[in-house]
Amino acid sequence: MQKNVRWLLAATLLVSASCKTTRNATATRDDNKIKVVFVQVNDVYEIAPLAGGKEGGMARVATVKKQYQQVNPNTFLIMSGDFVSPSVYNSLQYEGKRIRGKQMVEAMNAAGTDFVVFGNHEFDINENELQDRINESGFLWISSNAFHKTKGKVSPFSRTTTPNAPPFPETYIMNVKDKDGTTAKIGFIGLVLPFNKADFVSYTDPLTTAKTLYDRLKDSVDAVVAITHQTIEEDQRLAREIPGLAVILGGHEHDQRFVKEGNVYITKAHANAKSAYIVKLNLNKKNGKLKVDPELKYINESVASDSSTHVVVEKWNSIAEKNYSSLGFDAKAVVLNSGEPLDGREAKVRSGITNLTKLLVAAIQSAAPQADIAFVNSGSIRVDDILPLPVTQYDIIRTLPFGGGIREADMKGSLVIQTLNAGTKNRGTGGFLQYNENIAFDASSNTWKMNNVAIDPAKTYRVAMSDFLFTGKEANMDFLNPKNPEVVKTYDAETAVTNPKSDIRLAIVKYLQKK
């Protein structure tokens, strides 16, 4: 009997061990399937949450990445361009230098950003400033069609503080492996629209470049991902021309886009990390099939802040508040508590009039009451959003991050007419002009009128405008500068921080306080 019990126990242990071995073998067997997750954001200029802390924030983006990474280690954070500029920080200083996106790079490093592409606004800042941001970055820049032009040569951008630093790759191949041993290679292409013609940048055609690089990659990887910063129309064309792309992780539009062109998904999240696209690539190595699963995730109060990234955000918030104070602003002070939200969406302000553009022109007129005409270029407005109430001084600052003073000049009516015509020609771009409501174009007589009276080409008018406009650097407006012979008189710029003409944002704050 005892012998039978011992035999039965031994048999039981043998079966148990056999089952355990079988389970372990099953658990570790390569199933030839692998999943890769991309957390994608784009057009992020704000490191801290907006809308009273309810939306966005890089510390929340960091949390989202970590949450998905805990489930799948093959999770990567992507920034699809436009993060160094424009920013409210770009007019501020730290340790004797303009900040120029330093706060954003530090926050992105803390959040665990993996891959980025240039956006057109990365080239707003000067060459040395951009090089500093590149040197400070801990993520990989992929640049397929934007190159560094210096000393008559064109070469890839690269870090200059690291000896023998590799140049930014035109393409990148990432090797991934999951728990059961399945491996895959993901190829990347990074494109930016050739919009900003900075002297230190050279572009190749995005579509032609993409087709060449895709052909170079396709046979050596399991999937090719395009990270882009260009218009949705250009992304759709890219998808049509290269239908074999796995997905296009895009940027440039700020209002969230989701398109499926053929079999290629195009994803663009809301600007300022109000949302992120979670894009899952499901690869079956056995049959070569790829399934792409995109999902929009809102970044709001339901997402906790990552503590280490939050420390970085708070550091820069403190630096910024000290700067604002020195410029005459109280960032947290409410300036508008009733009425309609202010419409600063790019598509609206660059083609027409909104309540925000009316406010901007009225503020210039209030700051320069002797002026007959007020001009401001719509490109000054960079918030590309609707500002909800209550509106704070910080909202005004971030709406016009470049700031700048208000200049006045006496000029001939002929120059006023030329400026109005150029502003109309610039419809759809940042050079589209906003001006007083008492000015209108009469199509029947083909004349510009003020208070229903034709503007007299020979008469002198006093004009108030943003100081950038008076440099002649706006599109189609190189004639609008102090050296133009039709400028009769220029008035000295105001520099005192208490004077509303010293900063167009201060003019708005003072105007709203008066009201």
Residue 346: its pLDDT value, please? 83
Work out the pLDDT band at 3, boundaries 50, 70, 90.
very low
CB–CB of 242/211 below 8 Å? yes
Using H for helix, E for strand and C for coil, what is the string for 52-83? CCCECCHHHHHHHHHHHHHHCCCEEEEECCCC
- 120-157 burial: b if 16+ Cβ within 10 Å, else e: bbbbbbeeebbbbbbeebebbbbbbbbbbbeeeeeeeb
Q: Which domains does the chain have, with CATH numbers?
A: 30-311 (3.60.21.10), 330-514 (3.90.780.10)
CB–CB of 283/253 below 8 Å? no
Q: Which two tokens stand for residue 504?
A: 């167009």
Q: In whole angstroms, what is the distance from residue 12 CA to residue 6 CA?
A: 10
Q: Which two tokens stand for residue 254?
A: 């700020």
Beta bridge partners of 431: none
Residue 428: its pLDDT value, please? 92
Work out the pLDDT band at 317, boundaries 50, 70, 90.
very high
Rounded-to-10 torsion of CA 279, 58, 171, 191: 90
Residue 27: its pLDDT value, please? 52
Burial (0-12, 13-18, 19+ Cβ within 10 Å), 288? exposed
Residue with tokens 């589209």: 432
Residue 51: its pLDDT value, please? 81
Model pTM above 0.85: no
* pLDDT at position 221 over 70: yes
Work out the pLDDT band at 80, boundaries 50, 70, 90.
very high
Give the side-chain half-sphere CA count within 13 A for 178.
Answer: 21
Q: In whole angstroms, what is the distance from residue 137 CA to residue 102 CA?
A: 9
pLDDT digits (tens, 9 = 90+) for 16-26: 444 444 444 44
Beta bridge partners of 334: 392
How confident is the model over 173-183, as a mean pLDDT? 97
